[in-house]
Chains A and B, each alone.
Chain A
Amino acid sequence: MSKLYSGAEIVFKCLEAQDVEYIFGYPGGAVLPIYDELKNHESIKHILARHEQGAGHAAEGYARSSGKPGVVLVTSGPGATNAVTALTDAYMDSIPLVCISGQVPTHLIGTDAFQECDTTGITRPCTKHNWLVKDVKDLSKIIHKAFEVATTGRPGPVLVDIPKDIQFQKTKYVNSIKRKKLNGKIHNKFNQGEIDQLVKLMVNSSKPILYTGGGVINSGPKASELLRELVSLTGFPITSTLQGLGSYPGDDNQFLGMLGMHGTYEANNAMHDCDLMINIGARFDDRITGKIDEFSPKSKKVHIDIDPSSINKNVKVDLPIVGDVSEVMLSVIKTLKKKHPNFASSNKEKTSKWWEKISEWRSVNSLNFINSDKTIKPQHAIQRLYELTKDKDTYITTEVGQHQMWAAQHYKFNKPNRWMTSGGLGTMGYGLPAAVGVQIAHPDKLVVDIAGEASVLMTIQEMSTAVQYNLPIKIFILNNEYMGMVRQWQELLHEKNYSESYTAALPDFVKLAEAYGCVGIRAKTPDELDEKIKEMINVNKPVIFDCLVDKEENCFPMIPSGKPHNQMLLGPNDQKENKITGKGKTLV
């Protein structure tokens, strides 16, 4: 007879079989049997967060930077509800997470027991799937299936809720890692006919553009290589969504920069005027499309995505191709090479006018800003950070707001998995715990959280985690004392009624850093910025960098609400030319 294992032991046997190295979590009554078992499994290290949301975001940072699923372990009730923000964030940005939550013992479920909540009910709309384990015999099968659901197809979070009595009960362990398709949910449904159609469209196009997204990152490093090959093979211009940054080198000439609400002038205009749009692993998010009715009116649209429900959801496309973007790009490259060798050079003339047009748009230099020698401009701070860290294979996380957009605009990424930001859900407080997870996955790399002072205060407690595990993360705060993006919208849309967007009584971040046992650095003027950034990089400890920036700088360019791509607001330079006075900021 084979050995009997407790539910808690089975959890770890499954995690070991799945090659899990790190769990991000927080203990509590209903998961104590699992925590008790931790000591017997040396290959798995537990990272103690200071809040379950932090554990969840750390697991996201780990997953996004390593390509492996993140594992979260929380207790019942508040443990589970605190993890909901991170699960929703992972759901929106397609990050594979496996969350294991404790639950009150089976016989108490439904009695409003201490720390009971309907965890599977609460997390149903923010996970790909979830399970309440009612029989210990199902446990190993469910956990293995959970990993499979989280990592296959369009990745996402899953949750396994395990009542405390199940954690104690004993049964046999069944190693059931399967590579079987789930209920016939096949992910590569495309055929050669569709590839041929796409190639035909590419050959006939005189104003093409590639629009790539997070799907390229999620498809693995090979997808980024294939994308680079595709771009050089076609000579087409390429733009990327916020989540796709890094899949194509940010400093390459064919790259037009990020598109969307705060995207570059050339990227958005090219999207609007193109005759062929090839969407690779992006989802026509409303921050990207602007006004749907006037979105890229003259183009044929191709959408390559692993998730069939992403296709035709927001924008009707002419040629949908359902499949893993790597596989599809590989087929396209093969077909293109076979049918049209030397395509890039033969196509050069056809697209030359298009490239001229793009150069015109580029010459507007839409990311430009008026620098100052008295106050640090936030864009300047990011540019300096980029210049001083670009040779280091740096990993960047961000919070949400103006600083996030400036980081996306001014920090150039060359490799995938180096850029972790909360795009879909827009979770303030994401970046600090995400940086913890990234540093766990890459202990010797430089990890910087580009933050705002408002966002970072939402999860500042995770500095304590960073200190505990000697994680030398750098929290680079662009401190303008405002919730900058809220203030910007209030300035543009609500007659400068800055309702509750100013944070009075901010902490002294340098002293706060010291209180946590890490290093605090403050930069006040442009002169000292470089020195201080270098100091930050050279400290082998967690650092909170308080960069005091211009309080009223706005993030440009920008597509105002309800406007199409070709009606962008440019920065204050643009206003001066249009002779709009009043600091050049009253725009709308």
Chain B
Amino acid sequence: MSKPKSAYSIPGKKQKSDTHVIVVWVDNEAGVLARVVGLFSGRGYNIESLAVAEVDSKLNISRITIVTTGTPQVIEQIKLQLGKLVPVHKVADFMRGDKKIIFKEMALLKIVGNNVKRKKAIKFCKKFNPVVLDKTNKSVVIQITALRREIDTIMNDLKKTGLVSVSRTGAVAMTRGAEVFK
């Protein structure tokens, strides 16, 4: 490479990226999600999935679960930067592969097809706690809970059974056992 024509330095070596699940407890107030999400976009961090809802209506606390990928340095920065936001109470960080943590995503799957196809579709979903939420003589809506990859796979399988629409949530996470993240 010829000499850089820039007032800035050239990028150094990149470290290996890992997928993490970041859980953030925040005051449930106007704009708080924008602050959290804006921090990610503004600093060039990526968001793979996002789930957010109020979990304590008395204390007015929402819990945000973000799946993100980054080098150890970036993950560290994400946590520290989140911790600086005024409405943020605490930040937890889990590796996606962590055995002590439960991750789950939910998906709603709409299948349109004859009886055979619909039955086949429900069978495919068997491993992932399928719940039939709606059915007609042409269609069925199935709810499943599973990991991201599993849902990816099943969506592929269901293509041949008449999958016409998918709606998915972001991952939510919780520690196993009696322990609670402080």
Contacts and interface: CB of A to CB of B under 8 A. Distances in A.
Interface string B64-76: 0000000001001
B77 A309 contact: yes
A121 B35 CA distance: 9
A307 interface: yes
Contact of A292 (B9, B30, B38, B76): B9
Contacts of B12: 291-293
Interface stretch (A21-29, A124-132, A375-383): A124-132
Given A183-B89, A184-B89, A308-B80, A120 B31 contact: yes
Interface residues of B, number: 29
Interface in B69-94: 73, 76-77, 80-81, 83-90
A3 interface: no
A494 B34 contact: no
B30 A313 contact: no
Contact of B84 (A132, A309, A493): A309
A443 interface: no
Interface string B17-44: 0000000000000110011001000100
A165 B42 CA distance: 33
B34 A561 contact: no
Interface string A273-304: 00000000000001000111100000000000
Interface string A87-125: 000000000000000000000000000000000110011
- The range of chain A's interface size is 20 to 34
A291 B13 CA distance: 12
B57 to A, nearest CB: 19
Interface in A121-179: 121, 124-125, 128-129, 132, 134, 149
Interface in A299-346: 307-309, 311-313, 316
B86 A183 contact: yes
Given A309-B80, A562-B9, A128 B34 contact: no
Contact of A561 (B4, B42, B77): B4
B82 to A, nearest CB: 9
Contacts of A149: 86
Contact of A128 (B42, B76, B77, B86): B86
B9 A286 contact: yes
Contact of B34 (A124, A290, A311, A489): A124
A185 B10 contact: no
A149 B31 CA distance: 17
A588 interface: yes
Contacts of B85: 129
A178 B10 CA distance: 46
A493 B5 contact: yes
Contacts, number: 69
A291 B9 contact: yes
Contacts of B3: 562, 588
Contacts of A291: 9-10, 12
A121 B86 contact: no
Interface string A162-205: 00000000000000000000111100000000000000000000
Contacts of A308: 80, 83-84
B34 A286 contact: no
Given A183-B89, A561-B6, A588-B3, A309 B34 contact: no
Contacts of B76: 312
Nearest to B35: A124
Given A124-B38, A312-B76, A494 B13 contact: no
B116 interface: no
Contact of A312 (B73, B83, B86): B73
A489 B7 contact: yes
Contacts of A125: 38, 42
A107 B42 CA distance: 30
A489 B31 CA distance: 41
Given A149-B86, A185-B84, A307-B84, A121 B34 contact: yes
Contacts of B31: 120-121, 124, 132
B8 interface: yes
Contacts of A307: 84
Interface of A: 120-121, 124-125, 128-129, 132, 134, 149, 182-185, 286, 290-293, 307-309, 311-313, 316, 489, 493-494, 561-562, 588
17 contacts: A120-B31, A125-B38, A128-B84, A183-B89, A184-B89, A290-B9, A291-B10, A291-B12, A308-B84, A311-B80, A312-B73, A493-B7, A561-B7, A562-B3, A562-B6, A562-B10, A588-B3
Q: Which 7 A-B pairs have the closest CB atoms?
A: A309-B80, A129-B86, A293-B12, A562-B10, A493-B5, A562-B9, A125-B42
